[in-house]
Amino acid sequence: MARAARIVLYVLIGLFALLAITIFVITRLIDPNSFKPQITELAREQANIALDIQGDLGWTFWPSLGVSVGRTEARVGDDEELFAAIDEARLGVAVWPLLFRRVEMDAITLDGLELNLIETEEGGNWERIGGTETAPEDDVTVTSPEQEEDAAALDIPVKIPLVSVSNSRLRYRNLVDGTDITVEHLNLRARDVQLDEPFPISASLRYQDQDDVRIDLQLETVLGLDLDNNVYTLDPLRLDTSIGGITANPIQIRVDNRIEAALDEGRISVRDLVLDAAGIRTRGELEITGLDDALTLRGQLDTEPFAANDALRAIGEAPIETSDPNALRRVGFSATLSGPANSVMLDPLTITLDDSSITGKAGITDLDTLAMMFDLALDRINVDGYLPPSEEVAEDDSESAAARPLSEDPILPLEALRELTLTGKLAIGQMAMMGLDARDVQVEVSAADGLLRLRRAEGKTLEGGFRADASLDARTDTPVTTFNATVSTVQIHPILQALMGEDLFRGLFDMNAEFRTTGNSEKAMFENATGTMTLGLTDALVRGVNLHNTLTSGLNDMLGNYQALAQFIPGTEDGRLPRELREDTEILDLDSRIRLADMIATVERLNADLDRGAKVSGNGWLNIHNSDFDFTLRMRAPEISSQPRISEREWPLRCAGNLAGSPARWCLPSSQAFRDAGRELVARLASDQLGIDRERVQEERERAEERVREETDRAQEQLRDRARDQLDRLRR
C-alpha cells in the first residue's frame, strides 16, 4: 500500500515536472511577439480594425500562467484618428489548480484604456467595426457529446482575486449637434470576483461636457450576480458625487441605498434610500416595474425641512432676499409615488413652506409625451413676505419722468411652450399680496400643442370679487395673447396704493375688460395691444384734486372781467367765490368706456355724478407707456346759481399731466373759455333783462287801457241812467 502511494506520488511529481518543463519551454522558446503580424492581419480581416501593437507581448510562468500586452492602438478602417488604445494589460491563471481541473484566475489588470467615439451624419465610427466576409452557411461547427461533457466538466465557478481598470479615458463627440463628452480618470477595482457570492467593487471617474459641466463620482458597493435568474444586487451602495459648472460651488451629493434589479421580471427596487445634497436630506423607497413594457413607479419620498438660503450658500449661490427675514426657513416635501403605468405621479403630495402647506397631487401622466398635471390646494400664504425688500426710489423733480425704451428681446421660449402639455388646478384659501388680501382663489390652467390657457382665475377680495381668463397662442412665431377680466364692487384704494404707491382714489370699483396683443417682445406687445374696458366707480373720492375749486377758479377769472355777473352768483366776497379748504372730489357714481390702441388708452365716454348735484362728462387719453394723460371735461354745478343760464351751463375744465406728477396740478380751468363764456352770459342776461322790461311796459299799457275802457263804460252807463231819468220826468 505504501509502495503504491509512493508510485502515485512519483507519477504526480513527474507529471507536474513535465508540465512545468513544458510551460517553461513554451514561455522561453516561443516568442509571442512573432505572432504580431498574424494578430494584426486577423484584426483587419475579422473586425476592420487597424491594430498597432507597439509594446511587447510577454509570458508569465509562476505562480500563474499568463500573458501581458504593452501599448496597443486601434483605428477603424483607414481612419487616421485613434479609435482605441491601451497602455498595458495583464491576464493570468494559477498553474497549480489547473492540475486538479480547477480554474483560478490571477489578477486581471487594464491600464491606460482610451476610447474615442465619433458620430457624424453618416453614423458612428464604432458601427464600422466588424468582419467584411460572412461565413458559408454550411460552415457549422458540431460539438460531440464528449466535447460537451469535457466543457461542462471545466465549467466551474471562477474566482478572480482582482480585476483592475486604471487611468482610463472615454470621449464621445457628435459632430452634428456639437456634443462633446469626456469621461476620464476612470478607475475600477473588484476583489474576489465570482459568480456565486457577492464581491466588493469600487469605482471613480470624472465627467465633463461641452458646457463645462463637471461630475466627479466615487462608488463603493457589493455586487451580487445571479446569472441563472438574471438578478443583480448592489447592497449596500454608496455614491459620492461632486457636480461643478452649474453653480458657483460644486454640489456635493451622497447617496446611500440598496438596489436589486430583477431583469427577467422587469423590476428594480431601491431600499433604504438616503440622499444628502447641499444640506438637504431625503429618505425613501422606490420600486420600478414594467421596464420592458409600461414603466410603473411605486414608493415614498420624504425631504426633511431645510432652510433654502442655507442650501444656496452651500453651493456658492447668493441667498434669496425676502422682505420677511424668516421666509424660506422651513421647506419640506413628502410624496407617495403612485399612478398608472407609463406615468410618474406624486399622490398624495405635501409641500411645507414655512407656515403654509400645499397638498394634493402632481406628476407626469404620460412619460412618452411628458404630459404633466397638478391638482393642489394651498391653505394660506403671504406672498409679500417672499418678495424682495422694498427699495428707496429717488424722487424725480420733473413732472414726468422719461419712459425707458421698450426692449425688443424675446420674452417667451416658444419652442419649449409648444412642447408643453399641462392641465392644472390650484385652490388658495387665503392669500396676501402687495398689501391685498384674497380668499377662495381658484385657478385652472392648460397647455397643449402650443396653446396655453388660463381657463379660470377667480376669487374674493376687498369686499368684492374678480374673475379672469387668458390665452397664449404660441403655435406661430408671432404669438397672440388675450386677456379678459371682470371685477365687481372691489375697493380701489388698496389696488392703486399697491400699484402707484400713493393714496389717490377711494371707492368701489367695477370693471369689464378685453385685451389682445401680438408679438414676442416688450416693444411688440405694448405697440400691438388693443382692447376695450368699461369702468365704474361708486362712493368714490379723488384725493388731491378738487373739481369744485377748479370750477371756482374759472368762475373767479370770469368775474374779474365781468363784475355784473356777480349778482347772479350768490356767495361772492369782493366779487370772488371762496375756495373750499378740502382738496378732494367726491364722486357719487362714475361710468366710462376706454379703448386701447397704439399704446394709447382713449377714454371715449366719461360721465360722473359729484356731490351737491354736480355732474361731469368728457373724454381724453392716457399713454400707457409714459403715463402722460390729457382729459377735456365739462362740469355742471347747479348749486352755484339759481339763474338757469349759469346753473345749467357746462363749464370747460382740462386735466392733463403725468400720473407721476402732483395731483394738485392736474386739473385747471380754461381761462379763455371762461372769459368767452362770461361775455356770452352778459349778453344773454342783458337781453333777458331787456325782454323783461318790455314785458312790464306792455303789461302797464294793457292795464291802463283796461282802466280807460272801464271808466268809459262807467261814464256811458251814467249818461244812459241820466237820460232815462230825464225822459221819465218829461213823461210826467
Half-sphere exposure of 522 (CA within 13 A, CB side): 8
**Beta-strand relationship, 667-669 and 49-53:** unpaired
With left for phi above 0 and alpha for psi between -120 and 50, is residue 373 left, alpha or beta? beta
Q: Which of 173, 78, 171 is nearest to 120 (CA)?
A: 173
pLDDT (0 to 100) of residue 277? 95
| More confident position, 572 or 292 | 292
pLDDT (0 to 100) of residue 22? 46
Percent of the chain at pLDDT exceeding 90: 45
Helix (H, G, I), strand (E, B) or coil at 555: helix
**Beta-strand relationship, 356-366 and 451-461:** unpaired
Q: Does the pLDDT of residue 554 top 80, yes or no?
A: no
CA distances in angstroms from 294 to 232, 262, 268, 289, listed in the order given = 21, 16, 14, 8
Percent of the chain at pLDDT exceeding 70: 75
In this predicted structure, which of 429-443, 451-465, 710-724 has the lowest mean pLDDT? 710-724
Contact 493, 503 (CB under 8 A): yes
Containing H/E element for 359?
strand 356-366
**Mean pLDDT, rounded, for 315-338:** 93
Q: Which of 568, 557, 596 is nearest to 674 (CA)?
A: 557
Q: Tell me the pLDDT band of 386, cut-offs 50, 70 and 90.
A: very high
**Mean pLDDT, rounded, for 160-173:** 91
**Mean pLDDT, rounded, for 544-557:** 77
Mean pLDDT, the chain, whole residue set:
81
| More confident position, 483 or 292 | 483
| More confident position, 345 or 650 | 345
Q: Which of 384, 381, 378, 391 is nearest to 324 (CA)?
A: 384
To the question of pTM greater than 0.75 for the whole model, the response is no
| More confident position, 644 or 451 | 451
Alpha-carbon dihedral sign for residues 89, 95, 97, 101: positive
**Mean pLDDT, rounded, for 161-184:** 92
pLDDT (0 to 100) of residue 131? 53
Q: Does the pLDDT of residue 626 top 60, yes or no?
A: yes
In this predicted structure, which of 47-61, 292-306, 389-403, 566-580 has the lowest mean pLDDT? 389-403
pLDDT (0 to 100) of residue 397? 43
Q: Does the pLDDT of residue 579 top 50, yes or no?
A: yes
Orientation of helix 547-561 relative to helix 671-731, angle to 10°: 70
| More confident position, 86 or 95 | 86
> What pairs with residue 254 in β-bridges?
240, 276
Q: Report pLDDT digits (tens) over 176-208.
A: 999 999 999 999 999 988 888 999 999 999 999
Cell of 44: 483587419
* Contacts of 660 by beta carbon, 8 Å cutoff, 6+ apart: 396, 399, 400, 401, 627
Q: Report pLDDT digits (tens) over 220-255.
A: 999 999 988 999 999 999 999 999 999 999 999 999
pLDDT (0 to 100) of residue 525? 94
Q: Report pLDDT digits (tens) over 684-698.
A: 665 655 444 444 545
**Mean pLDDT, rounded, for 294-302:** 92
The DSSP line for 668-689 is EE-HHHHHHHHHHHHHHHHHHH
**Beta-strand relationship, 72-76 and 49-53:** antiparallel
The span from the CA of 341 to the CA of 295, in Å, is: 5
The span from the CA of 710 to the CA of 714, in Å, is: 6
Q: Report pLDDT digits (tens) over 410-444.
A: 999 999 999 999 999 999 999 998 778 899 999 99
pLDDT (0 to 100) of residue 568? 65
